[in-house]
Structure 1
Amino acid sequence: MPELPLVLWIALAGVLGLLVGSFLNVVILRLPERMAAGWRQEAREVLELEADVTPLPPGIVREPSHCPHCKHPLSAMDNIPLFGWLLLRGRCRYCQAKISIQYPLVELLSGVLSAVIVWKFGPSWAALAGLVLTWTLIALSGIDFRTQLLPDQLTFPLLWLGLVLALLPMFVTAPSAIIGAAIGYLSLWSVYWVFKLLTGKEGMGHGDFKLLAALGAWMGPVSLLPMILLSSLIGALVGGTLIALRKHERDIPMPFGPFIAAAGWVWFVAGHGLLQGYMQLTGLR
């Protein structure tokens, strides 16, 4: 059986990314609601209150997609990634309510980044692992943007998968992954407590520690400082732009997780080239 050319693998990865992006939208929207419902149920049990009879929010897998406004189930044509939103011109077919731009953006981002991963690693197990990392980072970023939460249900599996892959090893060795995870967590944990002791305020959430620990497990300790610097730069640019355009108030906290995720993905794909370019510019060898 002849091998497929790389360009076809890249195209297939892009299509797969679009399809997965549609599912990631479901995760981004429904997982926080399911988590909140679970917390309310646990709180009522602790307080020994009667069970809440309110129906649970839609599940992530079983319940079909529907319009968030009129609750009408969506047809197969409406669910075509990216093109469904374009064909509907951003409005529900049944109630004409506006459909969030988030849907096509997440699908497009997932498709493009998936294609880049296969272009970088080729048709390999490393590419498959890279796709899982990419999709998880997109889901985490979307949830953090909407709710300022980084669910343990996503960060912990990403951390453990990074440590398991290091046993092969795939991207880094096991000692490097363990040290990277530990330093990744403790670095932001230390910043958090220093900032809180000095100001009395919480500068970031605990999910940020876990996300950087997961990325440290995937890429080792050498990647951590560049990722922190790059995420800070991206955050400053995005935050400054939003404030300048008056689309974000200065006193409203901005989630840092998406910037960590973006920096981690960039370093995962292009870190070696960026490091070599920096060393050439600075004259280091």
Structure 2
Amino acid sequence: MTPQLLFSVFSFILGAVVGSFLNVCICRMPRDESVVSPPSHCPGCGYRIRWYDNIPLVSYLLLRGRCRGCREKISPRYPLVELLNALLSLALFLRFGPTLAFAVLFLFCSALVVITFIDLEHQIIPDEISLPGIVLGFIFSFFLRGHGWLNSLLGILLGGGSLLLVAYGYQLVTGKEGMGGGDIKLLAMMGAFLGWKSIPFIIFVSSLAGSVIGVSLMLIQKKDSKLAIPFGPYLALGALLYVFYGPRLISWYLTLGGLQG
């Protein structure tokens, strides 16, 4: 087995193992419960999950998606989160290799996974993730080559400030709150990790995806514009696209604009 393949396998396993912990965060954080104690257990019967029943992806298949204690179905979200985080970890390794950038962005993407699933289910974005994320993103900027603390600081200000202005403007015009503070802090965290140049890209992609998917859901469900749709997952989508393709897509767009001009 070549070193490249060995590290690729390791990155996939690492992502799956961390994904198992992310499931604990997704389940407990909205209920203000500790993510450390008590140990993992079935929410239905309280059966304490043994280590051999807690192997990422594998245990779900061996148990056929059911609790060993009460035989109740295990939510498919658990293997989905583990697989998603494993694939993100592998993709980051193939993109950045065994570098500090890989470690930092793996932490960032794992946080986005937790935020996405919590926001989809509960329509909240935990401050316990976004606020420390802003601080960590700024600290890491001192050590990442080509990033820089000023780029990160401007990202925080532009990310948080832009959505704050949008939220204030919407409330001023309509008299209603249209965007939660969680989205504002989340975009500030994204700016801290990815820099200020990522913010216009993330806002454009998330707004476009949110409009298309949101309108489609309203038509399917036959609901009006008052249907509450969490914006955090769309911001996460925009951030992930920027991590892997953002600079190239921006360069392509600018080149295309130059050719047309």
Q: 1:121 to 1:162 in 2, by over 3 A?
A: same
Picking from 224, 230, 233, the partner of 1:258 is 233
Give the equivalent residue in structure 1 for 2:82: 107
Picking from 126, 133, 142, the partner of 2:108 is 133
Give the equivalent residue in structure 2 for 1:94: 69
SS in 2 for 1:146: helix
Deviation for aligned residue 1:151 = 1.4
Residues 101 and 144 of structure 2 are in contact (CA less than 8 Å); yes or no, is this contact kept in structure 1? no
Q: Deviations over 1:31-87 (max 9, x none)?
A: 1212xxxxxxxxxxxxxxxxxxxxxx5x21131211111111123232121222222
SS in 2 for 1:229: helix
1:278 aligns with 2:253: yes
Q: 1:242 to 1:70 in 2, by over 3 A?
A: farther
Determine the C-alpha separation between the residues in 2 that align with 1:249 and 1:12: 47
Give the equivalent residue in structure 1 for 2:9: 11
1:206 aligns with 2:204: no
Give the equivalent residue in structure 1 for 2:57: 82
**Unaligned 5+ runs, structure 2:** none
Residues 66 and 73 of structure 1 are in contact (CA less than 8 Å); yes or no, is this contact kept in structure 2? yes
Give the equivalent residue in structure 2 for 1:46: none
SS in 2 for 1:134: helix
Residues 160 and 187 of structure 2 are in contact (CA less than 8 Å); yes or no, is this contact kept in structure 1? yes
1:194 aligns with 2:169: yes
Q: For 1:11, give the aligned amino acid.
A: V
Q: 1:248 to 1:4 in 2, by over 3 A?
A: farther
Deviation for aligned residue 1:241 = 4.2
Q: For 1:23, give the aligned amino acid.
A: F
Q: Superposition RMSD on alpha carbons, in Å?
A: 2.2
Deviation for aligned residue 1:10 = 1.9
Q: For 1:118, give the aligned amino acid.
A: F
Give the equivalent residue in structure 2 for 1:176: 151
Residues 183 and 232 of structure 2 are in contact (CA less than 8 Å); yes or no, is this contact kept in structure 1? yes
Q: Deviations over 1:208-227 (max 9, x none)?
A: 11111111122222211110
Picking from 125, 128, 135, the partner of 1:160 is 135
Picking from 18, 25, 28, the partner of 1:27 is 25
Q: For 1:238, give the aligned amino acid.
A: I
What is the aligned length? 260
SS in 2 for 1:283: helix
Determine the C-alpha separation between the residues in 2 that align with 1:248 and 1:64: 41
Determine the C-alpha separation between the residues in 2 that align with 1:32 and 1:165: 27
Deviation for aligned residue 1:115 = 0.6
SS in 1 for 2:53: coil
Identity score, percent: 39
Q: 1:15 to 1:244 in 2, by over 3 A?
A: farther
Q: 1:240 to 1:129 in 2, by over 3 A?
A: same
TM-score, scaled relative to structure 2: 0.91
Q: Which moved more, 1:188-197 or 1:148-157?
A: 148-157
Residues 123 and 230 of structure 2 are in contact (CA less than 8 Å); yes or no, is this contact kept in structure 1? yes
Give the equivalent residue in structure 2 for 1:227: 202
Determine the C-alpha separation between the residues in 1 that align with 2:26 and 2:152: 28
SS in 2 for 1:221: coil
Determine the C-alpha separation between the residues in 2 that align with 1:184 and 1:171: 19
TM-score, scaled relative to structure 1: 0.84
Determine the C-alpha separation between the residues in 1 that align with 2:181 and 2:54: 35
Give the equivalent residue in structure 2 for 1:48: none
Determine the C-alpha separation between the residues in 2 that align with 1:248 and 1:126: 43
Determine the C-alpha separation between the residues in 2 that align with 1:249 and 1:14: 42
Deviation for aligned residue 1:274 = 1.3
Determine the C-alpha separation between the residues in 1 that align with 2:251 and 2:24: 39
